[in-house]
Amino acid sequence: MSKVLAKVIKDAVSSNKCNIGHKEVLHSAKSSKLIVYSSSLPEDTKKKIEEAARSARVPVYNFNDTSVQLGKFCNKPFRISVISVNAVSGSDLSALLEEINKEERSSI
């Protein structure tokens, strides 16, 4: 987990500029800047979210931990399988995209 991602998610949650849950994220994909999902998201839902993100040209980040951990990370007392961030600064987004690209290259 990167510090940049932590900052982006915590800022979005505290300012209420995020959507939580797969239905909310699917409906708001076009207005999102970033989508983060946990490893416990069902495969069929993951495919739907990735397709919506691809068509809206929104980057997707695999959290690589459970929905319980993502919920704790967001300071919520419940599980969060997926979250979309609607507002993020340009510098934070570019740093996060660089990190996502590095992870994708290393996994190949």
pTM of this structure: 0.85
- The CATH number covering residue 20 comes to 3.30.1330.30
Query: What would the pLDDT profile of 12-62 be if each residue is shown by its tens digit?
Result: 888 899 999 999 999 999 999 899 999 999 999 999 999 999 999 998 888
Q: In this predicted model, what pLDDT tens digit does every residue of 77-96 receive, in sequence order? A: 999 999 999 987 777 778 87
| Angle, alpha carbons 10-67-31 (nearest 5°) | 55
Question: Exposed, middle or buried: residue 100 (CB in 10 Å: 0-12, 13-18, 19+)?
Answer: middle
* Domain range enclosing 90: 3-107
Structural domains of the chain, count: 1
Collect all residues with Cβ–Cβ distance below 8 Å to 24 and sequence separation of at least 6: 84
Token output for 71:
């919920």
Q: Work out the percent of the chain whose per-residue pLDDT is above 90.
A: 44
